[in-house]
């Protein structure tokens, strides 16, 4: 279990994480979402004691990371797949990790096999592709057979087979009763993998919901030459094109009747099943720090 209590991190006058309180429970894949600069990586670094909180606490099984006697046996983490000595082989990298924690070398071979890296384990890590580095990093996270897994963007660089593999792995680890905490910008993959979603924006908690709630229901999309009066009449409406509105809540019939009552011509009116991407974009619309000008 990971517990965050009023976790805050400031860098000068910038607040990277702002009073974050969460409890991540076993048996669940929890997805961690947010725009660039939202504070996701900073939060994970504080959990691992790599960054000191300005205030608040981050606990793993009720204890700070620094107080864990055998941290790799408690929490396995992957924050930077390239953080490996380039001249060291994948196998030697894992053996060094195992030696530091009293983990038998036989476990190194097990995780190499589990991640499909046995054949490449004798090569220098500096020759690995990003996908291979990700697999090695995941092998390192699994090395201590921990009850908690925390992975930052683990599908980056993986081919479709690798993406399916990591999805199946994360689901199986949660099914074994482990706590799985994973960030990703791939909405479609997160929708298939996570049970629960945490969404940050500018360091603050925007949403903490079951996946089923975030993707439930339908939206209505309407196109026409002058829809501003309709947008003004529907608080849940948002512009998704120069002549297109998307509305959450009302039925197509209700939106169509309102457009008729307002005397607005409509080119298209249809119901669209909501997706995680749609929900995410709605939630974070005001929290994008590096958005392009329109």
Compare 248 and 19 and report the one with higher pLDDT.
Answer: 19
What mean pLDDT do residues 36-57 have?
A: 96
183 phi, psi to nearest 5 deg = -105, 150
Cα angle at 159 between 156 and 164, to 5 degrees?
A: 90
Q: Which of 18-32, 41-55, 144-158, 261-275 has the lowest mean pLDDT?
A: 261-275
N-terminal to C-terminal alpha carbon distance within the chain: 42
Model confidence band, residue 291 (pLDDT cutoffs 50, 70, 90): low
Compare 279 and 78 and report the one with higher pLDDT.
Answer: 78
Tell me how far apart the alpha carbons of residues 59 and 94 are, in angstroms, rounded to a whole number.
26
Fold exhibited by the domain 218-273:
Alpha-Beta Plaits (3.30.70)
Q: Which of 8-22, 71-85, 132-146, 274-288 has the lowest mean pLDDT?
A: 274-288
Instruction: List the CATH code of the domain at 2-213.
Output: 3.40.50.300
Can you give the pLDDT at residue 216? Answer: 67
Hey, how many other C-beta atoms are within 10 angstroms of the C-beta on 262?
13
Answer yes or no: is pLDDT of 251 > 90: no
Tell me how far apart the alpha carbons of residues 35 and 29 are, in angstroms, rounded to a whole number.
20
What share of the chain in percent tops pLDDT 70? 96
Model confidence band, residue 30 (pLDDT cutoffs 50, 70, 90): very high
Model confidence band, residue 217 (pLDDT cutoffs 50, 70, 90): low
> How confident is the model over 115-168, as pLDDT tens digits?
999 999 999 999 999 999 999 999 999 999 999 999 999 998 888 999 999 999
Cα angle at 143 between 141 and 146, to 5 degrees?
A: 70
> How confident is the model over 166-192, as pLDDT tens digits?
999 999 999 999 999 999 888 888 999
Can you give the pLDDT at residue 294? Answer: 42
> How confident is the model over 100-116, as pLDDT tens digits?
999 999 999 999 999 99
Q: Note whether 234 and 250 are within 8 A (CB).
A: yes
Answer yes or no: is pLDDT of 266 > 80: yes
Can you give the pLDDT at residue 79? Answer: 95
Question: What are the domain boundaries of the chain?
Answer: 2-213, 218-273
Q: Which of 112-116, 193-197, 288-292 has the lowest mean pLDDT?
A: 288-292
User: pTM above 0.85?
Assistant: no
């Amino acid at each position: 279990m990971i517990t965050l209590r009023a976790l805050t991190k400031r860098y000068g006058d910038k607040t990277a994480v702002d009073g974050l309180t969460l409890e991540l429970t076993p048996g669940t894949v929890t997805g961690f979402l947010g725009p660039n600069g939202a504070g996701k990586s900073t939060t994970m670094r504080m959990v691992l004691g790599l960054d000191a909180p300005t205030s608040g606490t981050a606990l793993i099984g009720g204890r700070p990371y620094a107080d864990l006697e055998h941290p790799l046996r408690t929490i396995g983490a992957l924050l930077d797949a390239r953080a490996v000595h380039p001249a060291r082989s994948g196998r030697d990298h894992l053996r060094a990790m195992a030696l530091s924690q009293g983990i038998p070398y036989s476990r190194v071979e097990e995780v190499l096999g589990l991640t499909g890296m046995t054949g490449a384990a004798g090569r220098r890590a500096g020759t690995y592709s990003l996908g291979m580095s990700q697999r090695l990093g995941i092998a390192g996270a699994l090395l201590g057979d921990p009850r908690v897994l925390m992975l930052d963007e683990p599908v980056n660089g993986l081919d479709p087979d690798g993406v399916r593999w990591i999805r199946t792995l994360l689901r199986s680890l949660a099914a074994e009763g482990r706590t799985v905490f994973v960030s990703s910008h791939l909405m479609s993959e997160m929708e298939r993998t996570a049970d629960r979603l945490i969404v940050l924006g500018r360091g603050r908690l925007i949403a903490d919901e079951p996946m089923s709630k975030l993707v439930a229901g339908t939206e209505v999309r309407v196109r026409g030459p002058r829809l501003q009066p309709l947008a003004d009449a529907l608080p849940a409406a948002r512009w998704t094109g120069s002549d297109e509105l998307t509305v959450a809540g009302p039925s197509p019939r209700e939106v169509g009747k309102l457009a008729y009552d307002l005397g607005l011509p409509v080119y298209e009116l249809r119901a669209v099943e909501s997706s995680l991407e749609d929900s995410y974009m709605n939630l974070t619309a005001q929290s994008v720090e590096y958005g392009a000008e329109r």
